[in-house]
Amino acid sequence: MHSDFDVAAPLYDDIFTYSNIGKAQRKLVFKYINPIISQEKKLSILELNCGTGADAISFAAMNHDVIATDISEGMIAIAKAKNHPKNLEFKVQDINTITENTFDKKFDLIFSDFGGINCLSHEQLHDFIKKTSDLLLPNGKLVLVLMPKNCLWERFYFTLKGDKTKANRRNTTKSVVANVDGVGVETWYYNPQDISAIANKFYTTKKIKPIGVTIPPSYLEQSFVAKFPMLNIFKGLDSILTASALAKYADHFLIELELGC
The predicted model scores a pTM of 0.97
What are the tens digits of pLDDT across the range 51-76? 999 999 999 999 999 999 999 999 99
SS (H, E, C) the chain: CCCHHHCCHHHHHHHHHCCHHHHHHHHHHHHHHHHHHCCCCCCEEEEECCCCCHHHHHHHHCCCEEEEEECCHHHHHHHHHCCCCCCEEEEECCHHHCCCCCCCCCEEEEEECCCHHHHCCHHHHHHHHHHHHHHEEEEEEEEEEECCCCCHHHHHHHHHCCCHHHHCCCCCCCCEEEEECCEEEEECCCCHHHHHHHHCCCEEEEEEEEECCCCCCHHHCCCHHHCCCHHHHHHHHHCCCCCHHHHHHCCEEEEEEEECC
What are the tens digits of pLDDT across the range 154-170? 999 999 999 999 999 99
Distance CA 42, CA 243 (A): 30
Q: Please say whether the beta carbons of 191 and 248 come within 8 A.
A: yes
Say how many Å lie between the first and final Cα of the chain, rounded: 36
pLDDT bucket at 142, cuts 50 / 70 / 90: very high
Distance CA 57, CA 177 (A): 30
Mean pLDDT calculated for residue range 207-235? 96
Report which of 35, 83, 1 is spatially closest to residue 256, judged by C-alpha positions: 35
Residue-range domain boundaries for the chain: 6-150+190-259
Q: Examine the pLDDT at 1 and tell me if it is beyond 70.
A: no
What are the tens digits of pLDDT across the range 175-195? 999 877 667 889 999 999 999
Report which of 260, 257, 261 is spatially closest to residue 128, judged by C-alpha positions: 257
Q: What's the pLDDT at 36?
A: 97
Distance CA 12, CA 6 (A): 10
Residues 6+ apart with CB under 8 A from 31: none
Q: Which CATH number fits domain 6-150+190-259: 3.40.50.150, 1.20.910.10, 3.60.110.10, 3.40.1350.10?
A: 3.40.50.150
Task: Classify residue 67 as exposed, middle or buried by CB count within 10 Å of its CB (0-12, 13-18, 19+).
Answer: buried
Q: Examine the pLDDT at 141 and tell me if it is beyond 90.
A: yes
Q: What's the pLDDT at 138?
A: 95
What are the tens digits of pLDDT across the range 23-57? 999 999 999 999 999 988 999 999 999 999 999 99
Neighbouring C-beta atoms of residue 141, cutoff 10 Å? 23
Q: Examine the pLDDT at 3 and tell me if it is beyond 90.
A: no
Torsion over CA of 137, 89, 251 and 129, rounded to 10 degrees?
-30
